[in-house]
C-alpha cells in the first residue's frame, strides 16, 4: 500500500506540473539553474502554492528551506542559517511574500523567482 501511495502521489505531482504552464516553465528553469550551481529564492503570496512547490522540490530531490508565517523564532533562524551556511547543499528557499521581507539576509542566493 505504501508503494502505491508513493506512485500515486508522484503521478499526481507530474500531472500537476504538466497541467500548469507556469510550473512547466519553473521546472525547466530550476533544472537548468541546479545544473549551473545557482541558488534560488522562490516567493509566493499563497501558502498553498508553497506547499505544492515543497512537494515538487522533494520530487526533484532538490534540497530546500521554507519560511512562511507559521515558522517562528528559532526554527526561522535555523532555516536561514542552514541556507546561508558555507557549503550548504540547499538549492532553493521557499518564502511567503509576507514572511520573507522581515529582517532576513539571504545574500547567498543569486536568483529570485516571484
CA gyration radius, the chain: 14
Among candidate residues 14, 40, 22, the one with its CA nearest the CA of residue 113: 40
Quick one: pLDDT at residue 6? 63
Considering the chain, what percentage of its residues have pLDDT values greater than 90?
63
Which residue ranges form the domains of the chain, and what is each CATH number?
2-113 (3.40.50.300)
Hey, how many other C-beta atoms are within 10 angstroms of the C-beta on 34? 17
Quick one: pLDDT at residue 32? 97
Quick one: pLDDT at residue 49? 94
Quick one: pLDDT at residue 102? 64
Task: State how far the Cα of 60 lies from the Cα of 76, in Å rounded to an integer.
Answer: 24
pTM confidence score: 0.85
Quick one: pLDDT at residue 12? 78
Taking phi first (over 0 means left), then psi (-120 to 50 degrees means alpha), and beta for anything else, what does residue 109 get? beta
| pLDDT, tens only, 43-91 | 999 999 999 999 999 989 999 999 998 888 899 899 999 999 999 999 9
Quick one: pLDDT at residue 105? 83
Lookup: cell for 98: 509576507
Amino acid at each position: 500500500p505504501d508503494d502505491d501511495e508513493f506512485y500515486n502521489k508522484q503521478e499526481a505531482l507530474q500531472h500537476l506540473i504538466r497541467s500548469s504552464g507556469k510550473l512547466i516553465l519553473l521546472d525547466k528553469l530550476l533544472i537548468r539553474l541546479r545544473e549551473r550551481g545557482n541558488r534560488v529564492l522562490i516567493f509566493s503570496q499563497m501558502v498553498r502554492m508553497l506547499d505544492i512547490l515543497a512537494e515538487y522540490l522533494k520530487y526533484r530531490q532538490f534540497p530546500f528551506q521554507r519560511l512562511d508565517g507559521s515558522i517562528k523564532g528559532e526554527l526561522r533562524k535555523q532555516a536561514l542559517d542552514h541556507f546561508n551556511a558555507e557549503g550548504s547543499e540547499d538549492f532553493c528557499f521557499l518564502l511567503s511574500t509576507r514572511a520573507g521581507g522581515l529582517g532576513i539576509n539571504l545574500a547567498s542566493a543569486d536568483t529570485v523567482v516571484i
